[in-house]
Amino acid sequence: MRENCQKIKLLKLMELLRQETDELHPLSTNEICNRLNTMGISCERRTLAKDISLLNEQGFEVMWCRVGKEKAYYVEDRSFSVPELKILIDAVQAANFITDKKSIELIDKISALGGSHRADILKNNIVCFNTRKHSNETIYYSVGYLEDAIQRQNKVLFRYFDLDEHGEKIYRREGHRYVVEPVALVFHEDNYYVVVYSAKHDSTANYRIDRMDNVEIIDEPVSQKALALRKEVAGYTERVFKMYGGQPVDIVIEFDDKLIGVVYDKFGENTKMIRTNEHKCVATVKVQISPTFWGWLFQFGKQMWILSPTKLIEEYTIMVGELVGNGIIK
């Protein structure tokens, strides 16, 4: 019984030091004893030093200093620094797939990792992003089911929907369920997707998780093809236009040098560029040819164009001609 009480005392002492102290906010011996006694845990000045030593022997690194004439203790080392926690909080704030309710919960949990004093600093300095948050709370359960299915190598079924002009759900396939083989979860342009393999069509597809309802794991193993695709996920997700289908190809683009930052942002800072003259650069990038790709390219007008392959130049020329003929571009 006495041994159990001592274990509880050490756990509460460590919890108190982790949550309430840091190098700027140590707790004196008297303060610690009073806090523990308030919790119903007997603590005396003469035994506290021994308790701290036991914690240090277990690798908790409790530091001490002088506050006036009294000895005080604090925990300096933390799993996360304030800047690291700040980055995590900003990421939660900026992510539109995380609902307002869940954002508040996550921010509280992240802030608590830094202790109570740092938590106050973090909460008082939260950046408000102009982010339109999703309202679908079930996304967290869906992510959990999908991740579980991937680990268990099982198929999943679900219903998939779009939204009408009133924000109401319109289910595809008249509400009939999809049965697919999940390959990986991917975060892309503020949304979570699941990459799946369809044996019926022998192809991959991507579904936005916030548009999925009634996700269930079924007791059917995925195919060897789906398992093999998991090894290709890294390369798959590196393709910029991966969420919109289309055949991946290497293309050469030429662009005004003021778009260098845009190209790096879109294709990564490892993109190799060659300056062709004072104001122009050339780069070879891998994309999936799709309406999304063309939309991205045409937004730059005469500031960016395709140099190869020839087939794509021909398609590009035809599309430009149609846009000019319709008066969309001049």
Per-residue pLDDT reduced to its tens digit, 186-225: 877 667 889 898 888 888 888 989 889 999 999 999 999 8
Tokens, residue 230: 């998991």
For tokens 């704030």, the residue is 93
Residue 196 near residue 181 (C-beta atoms within 8 A): yes
Mean pLDDT, the chain, rounded, equals 80
Question: Phi-psi region for residue 4, left (φ > 0), alpha (ψ -120 to 50) or beta?
Answer: alpha
Predicted local distance difference test score (pLDDT) of residue 260: 92
Q: Hey, which residues does 124 pair with through a beta bridge? A: none
Indicate the CATH number for domain 2-75: 1.10.10.10
Residue of 147, 152, 148, 199 whose CA lies nearest to 178: 199
Residue 278 near residue 316 (C-beta atoms within 8 A): no
| CA 196 – CA 149 distance, rounded (Å) | 11
Predicted local distance difference test score (pLDDT) of residue 7: 63
Outline which parts of the chain fall under CATH 1.10.10.10.
Answer: 2-75
| CA 112 – CA 118 distance, rounded (Å) | 8
Residue of 50, 2, 1 whose CA lies nearest to 13: 50
Indicate the CATH number for domain 139-238: 2.30.30.100
CA diameter of the chain: 90
Q: What are the respective helix, strand and coil percentages of the chain, to the nearest 5?
A: 45, 25, 25
| Residue 112: count of CB within 10 angstroms of its CB | 15
Outline which parts of the chain fall under CATH 2.30.30.100.
Answer: 139-238
Outline which parts of the chain fall under CATH 3.30.70.240.
Answer: 245-325
Per-residue pLDDT reduced to its tens digit, 276-323: 998 999 999 988 887 878 888 988 988 999 999 999 899 888 887 776
Please report, for residues 70, 93, 262, the alpha-carbon distance to residue 66 in angstroms, rounded to integers and kept in the order given.
6, 40, 54
DSSP string, 44-81: -HHHHHHHHHHHHHTT--EEEEEETTEEEEEE---SS-
Is 54 a residue whose pLDDT tops 70? yes
Fold (CATH) for 245-325: Alpha-Beta Plaits (3.30.70)
Predicted local distance difference test score (pLDDT) of residue 123: 60
The reply to whether the predicted model has a pTM over 0.85 is no
Residue of 145, 143, 173, 149 whose CA lies nearest to 160: 173
Residue of 98, 188, 89, 192 whose CA lies nearest to 137: 98
Looking at residue 183, its amino acid is V
| CA 264 – CA 3 distance, rounded (Å) | 61
Is 243 a residue whose pLDDT tops 50? no
Per-residue pLDDT reduced to its tens digit, 297-307: 988 988 999 99
Residues 6+ positions from 124 with CB-CB distance below 8 Å:
none
Low-confidence winner among 23-37, 65-79, 289-303 (lowest mean pLDDT): 65-79
For tokens 């891998």, the residue is 286
Question: Phi-psi region for residue 266, left (φ > 0), alpha (ψ -120 to 50) or beta?
Answer: alpha
Helix or strand (DSSP H, E) at 267: helix 260-267
